[in-house]
Structures are given as C-alpha cells and as structure tokens.
Structure 1
Amino acid sequence: MIETIVKPRIQSIDLLKGMVMVIMALDHVRDYFHYSAFFFDATDPEQTTWPIFFTRFITHFCAPAFSFLAGTSAFMIGKRKSLSELSSFLFKRGLWLVFVEIIIVNLGWKFDLNFTHISLATIWQLGVSMIVLAVLIHLPKKVILAFSLVVIFGHNLLDNIHFDGSYFWAMIHQPQKIEFAEGHLVVFAYSLLPWIAVMSLGYCFGSLYDSSFEAQKRTRILNSLGIGCMALFFILIAFNTYGDPIKWTNYGDTSKTLMSIFNVSKYPPSLMYLLVTLGCSLLFLANTEKLKGKVVNFFCLFGRVPFFYYILHIYLIHLLAVFTAEFTGFGWQIMVSMPTFVTRVEALKGYGFNLITVYLVWILVIILLYPLCKKFDAYKQNHKEKWWLSYL
C-alpha cells in the first residue's frame, strides 16, 4: 500500500482569506443596516465621518486580496495537475462562478425572482478572471508577469475614454448600468480591467510558496514588495496626476483632505487602490506565517471555505434585514427588489441604525455562520475524493 503524503495548507494564506471574508461581511451588513447606506457614499468627505469612512475603507482590502490569492491558489493546484488539466479546471470553475453570480448571488442580494436588476460584481470578475487565466497559464511565466504589471500600472490611461451603453466597454473598464430589456437592467459593477491582471499576478506569486522556496527569502521578498507598493502609493499622492481617475482635493480642512487622499477609486480599481490594498496584503503575508493560536484558527476556518461562507452570508444578512424592516414598521417588502445601495431611497428615510448596532449585527452574523462553516470544512477534509467540492 502506497502512503500519500498530504502537504499542509499554508496558514498565512488561509488567515488572510479568512480575515478579508469576515471584514467583507461588515460592509454588507452596513449596506443593509446603517442609516446612511441608502442616502450617501460612505467615503464622500463632504458627508461622511471618520468611523463611517473607516468602516467602508477597511473593506477595500477584501476583493484585491481574494483575487490575488485566487491566482496563488491556482498555481498551487497546478502542482498536482498537468497544465491542460489546470486550464480545464480554471475554465469550468470560471463558468460556474459566472453562473453563480448571475443567478444565486443576485437572488440573494435582491430576492427578486424576475431578475430585473442583475449586478455583475465580485464573483463575476473572479469567474471571468479564471477563464482568462486558463488561457494565460500556457504562456511563459515572465510573459504572464509582464502582462499583469502592464495592465495594473497602465489601465488608468483609459480613464478618459467613455462609451456609454457599450456592453464591451462596460465589461472592460467603465462600470455602468445598461437596460437590456424593458424594465431589466444589468449593472457592470466590477469591470474586468485590472481584475484579471490581479489574479494572474497572484498566479505568478505562487512560485514563492513552492516547497523548495526558502521561507526567509519569501518573507524578504514580500516585505520589500509591500513596502515598495506603499512608497509608490505615497509618491503618487504627492504628484496627484496619475493613478486614480479622481484626484484628491485640498478642502482647507485636514480631516476632509485626508479622507479625500485615501478615497481611492474601486470601480474600476485604480492603480492607487491596488497599491495600498495589495501592498498591505503582501506585508500581511510576509509577517504572519508563524502566527498560531485560537484566533488564527478562527479566521483560517473561513479562509478554507470562502465560497460556502460567501453565499451563506449574503442570504443571512438579507434575511435579517427583511425581518428588521418588518419589525421596525417599514414592512418586509421594502427590502425586496431594492435599487443599488448608493441610490437615494426616500421610502427608507428613517430606517437603519448607528454604527455600533451595525457592528453588533456583524458579530452576530459571524457567530451564526461559524458552526455551519466548521461543519462544511470538516466535510471537505473528510471527503477529498469528491470532485465537486473543488467547485465550492
């Protein structure tokens, strides 16, 4: 009998995944429960406060970190598969994620069986990025790295090019709503540039986690690159000419000006947005490999079952919001088939709670999801032979 040696998971990656998944839930709880969510942008210096701004800003780290690590995970999966097998897996999983975004995720956000308002966001971009990566992995690693860097550093050159109503341009670079049938809208929230490059960059970084790569050398490289990203971020702030389509403004007020400086664009993600989020992520990965303990294990659990957690948390938060609207006199119907959160909704005037309540609801959501995620994680660990689990 041949004994199979299973290489342990890299805990720092699971830890970062888990932390960004937990933080992501905070933003989505805020979307449904904070009194300001339906009336103004939480990062607008002229309307927000520092607690509200920070609550939104901290969640900026979620999508870049997860997209990057999805690419890294793809590289690791490729160590157990042939190139053609990995390409096939990425292509099929990408198609599956696009389907999940359009049907399962949109239903969770809106509870609208007519699908009158379809958003293409996080899971959509992950799916399409995987499909593109399925092709890119056939190229030399240096070419993939060059492609990733050119797209990430150069895509802001396209900021002044606009094609309103163009499906192609909406998918590539200009987030917008397009009516595809009477009364039916598709919202391209996550345009593909530069998200596809973030995932392919993560794929290139996967070689740092090869079993033959020295841990101390990996730490030095990640620290150096993380510090470099942050340094370039502040250099671009000083010049205030390139790296973000919206230049920061001097309000003559230190607090508002600082908010304007750190109010980097996510839709689409600007160079400055990616520098600060990926830079901090690299520093986190560099300095957490040796962390252990119950708190680390807690977050790592969510990092091992991110897809399962993601789907559940959307439905749970939305259901809680439906019950809250009903028992606060607004009626459950107001929480079904809503417009986007940044749209002013007069019918919800007076609805919502302060940030303290939002944080308490967030903690409740995490507590409720933890045992479910723990059971699913145990099932995955005990049934590695089931191929369909790799798609969840």
Structure 2
Amino acid sequence: MYPSPETPAVPALGGVVPMRVQAIDVVRGLVMVVMALDHVRDFWSPTAFRPKDLSQTSELLFFTRWITHFCAPTFVFLSGVSIWLQQQKLKSQSATSRFLLKRGLWLVLMEVGVISFLLQWSYSMILLQVIWVIGCGMVLLAALLWLPRLALMLLAAFILVGHNALPSVQPITAATTGWALLHNGPFLLSVGLLPPLLVAYSVGPWLGVMLAGYLLGPWFVRPMSERKKLLRMTGAGMLAVFFSLRFTNWYGDPTPWSVQPKGGLYTALSFLNVSKYPPSLLFVCLTLGVSLLLLSRLEAVDNRLTRWLRTFGQVPFFYFLLHLLVISAGACLWTHWAFGQAINLAFANPTAWPKNYEPSLLRAYVVWAVVVLALYWPCSWYRRFKQRNSYWWLAYL
C-alpha cells in the first residue's frame, strides 16, 4: 500500500527518508511499456527506411516510432530523481557515492555482456545504449555529488542548453575518442581486439538529463499540492521553450522543420521531428515537459491501470532484461517458423531479409500487447519477492 501523498517525509539522521512516490513508479512503468513497442517493431516489423523519414513513412509508422522517444529521457531523468531519494535513505554521501560507482559499473557490464547479446544473438558488435549511459552517468555522479548544489545546477544548465552549440568531433581518432563519447551522435569505434563498439548514446547530454532529475529530487518529498504545482509549471515552461524555439528554427536542434509537400499533417510531423542522437535541447524540452506534466497529474490517480503500470515501474531493470529476452527469442522462433530460418531482422541488412517478408504494424502492435501482458505476472512476482526480502543483490536487479 502507498501512504497518502500528503504524508510528510519521515525525519531521519542526516536528512529525511521520503515516502515512495507513486507517480514515479507509474510514469516509469508507462514509458517502459511504450519502450517495448519500439523493440517489438525493430524485431517483428522493421522497415528498410527510417520510420521518421517523412519522404517515405506513413503517419502511423512515424508516430509509432516518435512516441517511443519519450522513454529514454524520462527513464534517465527518473534515475536521477531516484538517486537523490536513495541518498536520503542511505543518509551519507560516501555511502551513496560507493553505491553509484558499483551500480554504474554493473550496468555498463550488463550492457556490454548481456544486453548486446540479447539484441543481436551474437557479439558481432557491442551496443552502447541507454543502460550504458545510465551506468556512466552513475559513475560520474558518484564524484559530482560532492560538488555544491549551485555547481551542479550550472553544469546541468550548461550541458542541456549549450551542448547544441558545440561541434561534433570529425574524424574520430584515438586523441578525440573521449570527446566523441561525451558529445557525438551515433558512431562506430574500434578498440583493439574487441568487436566494434556502436556508441548510440553519448554520455554528456544524457548526464545533463540525469543531473536535472537529481537536482529536482527534493521536490518529490514536498507536500503533494506544492509538488504538483512545481512540476506542472516547469513542464509547461519547458513546452513553451520548445514551441518558441522550434517555431523560429533559431537554436536547440540541428534539424530545422520545414513545410512539407505532402500537406499540413506532414508539416506538423516535421515540426515534432526533433533529434534524439544526441538529445537536443528541444528534444529534452518536449519529452521532459510532457513527462513532468504526467508526474504532476498521476500522483493521486489510483485505478487498475495505474496499479498495473506501477508494478512494472517498481522493477525496471528486471522488466528491461526480461522484455528484451522475450521479444528477441520470440522473433527468433517466429522467423524460423515463417521463413524457414531464424533471422534477426533488427540487425540484418535489408538485402538479406527473406523475400516474402513484409513489414506489418498490425503484427507489431499485436505482439507488443501479448508481450506486455505476459510480462505482468513475472514482474508482479518479482516485485513481491523484493518487498519480502532484503538480499544485497536485489539492489542491482
């Protein structure tokens, strides 16, 4: 059971121990459910062109991809919030720093050793995506949390507002690899005898998102009425910045919008088509603006849907690993049955796809619904297991 949202935090030595915030679990569960749609589409209904290519995409395919852009920034932001809340429970900066260092390195190891394999069915490439960037953010925050709060605020503002003014590194050499990892968009990196590294998520901009969550963490122990007002005003302000800057095409995203020959709806899609790799200022304003409004709204909502989402939101890493396993293994079985060979459509070159393969959004949505429903029961069991036990390793899964 959740305490009343108006229940004040419980005093403790070294600070306060906050009550669990329902809205965090609900919104995190929501974005994880939406995230599964993107992964199902990749494995069960990929297209030879990018879904946001306005010259080739359909409206439904565009939105199927676009809606999933809310997942990573919300997940990273809430990781920052959760780190601040965890720090209040540990009652010590030293203990928090040690935990973040170990947890961050563990997540990087899992991205490299487990998640890359689940996605590819091999180690032909090492994929560095959202779990890698959360892990790196935790390792960096283990050191940064010792800085004064004002310094962290200035650093977060510089990253989020200023990184679009910084050029990407080209070409990437041994001397410039560090800057590329911090700032560049997706790129391939060769390191000795290791498989090629596909760096899909650069560390710097996502660290800014995590820092923003960490800095807003104190809001989540305030009374609900005050918290809702702060979240609502900040979310609305971020959306106002998005619409103002996006309309002028002045700053904040490397890809300007334009009037489209296919008509007004596609022009609107062009307006919304902001850059995720790396996340631009306008991408962050749009996605986190909406997420903050959801956080302000869902704290007091208690119904079957929010309880269902809360189950997923309380076991995020367990859900993440399990949903990738189910989606990729299911796609392996399906392609073997449908085409006579198991083929990873998500990573195979389109020229190697079976001749009778056709993308189908209907198939993707049906599989997505089945996967999410099937995951509820193991996630519900694991949530109860975590609540009943206090094994040290539960903090890492």
Q: 1:83 to 1:123 in 2, by over 3 A?
A: same
Runs (4 or more) in structure 1 with deviation over 4 Å come to 4-8
State the 1:239 CA deviation. 1.3
- 1:118 matched to which residue of 2? 126
1:387 paired residue number = 392
Q: Deviations over 1:80-135 (max 9, x none)?
A: 211100011011100000000000100100111xx221110010000000111111
- Find the counterpart in structure 1 of residue 106 from structure 2: 96
What CA distance in whole angstroms lies between the structure 2 residues aligned with 1:228 and 1:391?
A: 35
* Of 151, 155, 163, the match for 1:155: 163
Pick which of 240-249 and 125-134 moved more.
Answer: 240-249
The secondary structure found in structure 1 opposite 2:89 is coil
Which residue of 323, 328, 332 corresponds with 1:318? 328
Matched residue, 1:215: 224
Structure 1 residue 8 displacement after superposition: 4.2
**2:168–2:180: 8 Å Cα contact kept in structure 1?**
no
Query: Which residue of 98, 112, 136 maps to 2:144?
Result: 136
Residue equivalent to 2:22: 11
Q: In the alignment, is the contact (CA less than 8 A) between 1:108 and 1:318 conserved in 2?
A: yes
Q: Note if 1:298 corresponds to 2:305.
A: no
The residue identity in structure 2 corresponding to 1:135 is A
Whole-angstrom CA distance in 1 between matches of 2:325 and 2:265:
36
Find the aligned partners of 2:20 and 2:217 in 1 and give their Cα distance. 13
Q: Secondary structure at the match of 1:251?
A: coil
| Aligned twin of 1:78 | 87
CA–CA distance in structure 1, aligned partners of residues 254 and 321 of structure 2: 32
**C-alpha separation between the residues in 1 aligned to 2:57 and 2:337?**
28
List aligned pairs for 1:1-392, cutoff 5 A: 8-34=19-45, 37-81=46-90, 82-112=92-122, 115-159=123-167, 161-165=169-173, 166-174=176-184, 175-180=186-191, 184-210=195-221, 213-252=222-261, 253-332=263-342, 334-335=343-344, 339=347, 344-383=350-389, 385-392=390-397
| In 2: Cα distance, 1:159 partner to 1:327 partner | 47
- Which range is displaced more, 201-210 or 171-180? 171-180
Gaps of 5+ in 1: none
Distance 1:345 1:83 in 2: 53
Please tell me the residue identity of whatever aligns with 1:180. V
Instruction: Indicate how the Cα distance of structure 1 residues 142 and 320 shifts in structure 2: closer, same or farther if over 3 A, else same.
Output: same
Instruction: Provide the C-alpha distance between the structure 2 equivalents of 1:186 and 1:274, rounded to a whole number of angstroms.
Output: 25
* Secondary structure of the corresponding residue to residue 177 of structure 1: strand
Q: CA, structure 1 residues 6+197, in 2 after alignment: closer, same or farther (shift >3 Å)?
A: closer
- Larger CA deviation: 120-129 vs 320-329: 320-329
Q: In structure 1, what residue type is equivalent to 2:385?
A: Y
Equivalent-residue separation in structure 2 for 1:161 and 1:107 (angstroms): 29
Which residue is equivalent to 2:6? Answer: none
Q: Is the 8 A contact 1:120 1:186 kept in 2?
A: yes
Distance 1:67 1:300, change over 3 A: same
2-structure distance, mates of 1:152, 1:46: 30
Name the amino acid aligned to 2:107.
L
Instruction: Note the aligned Cα RMSD (angstroms).
Output: 1.9
- With 218-227 and 173-182 compared, the bigger mean Cα shift is at 173-182
C-alpha distance in 2 between matches for 1:133 and 1:379 = 29
- Specify the SS of the correspondent of 1:180: coil
Identity %: 37
Number of residue equivalences: 378
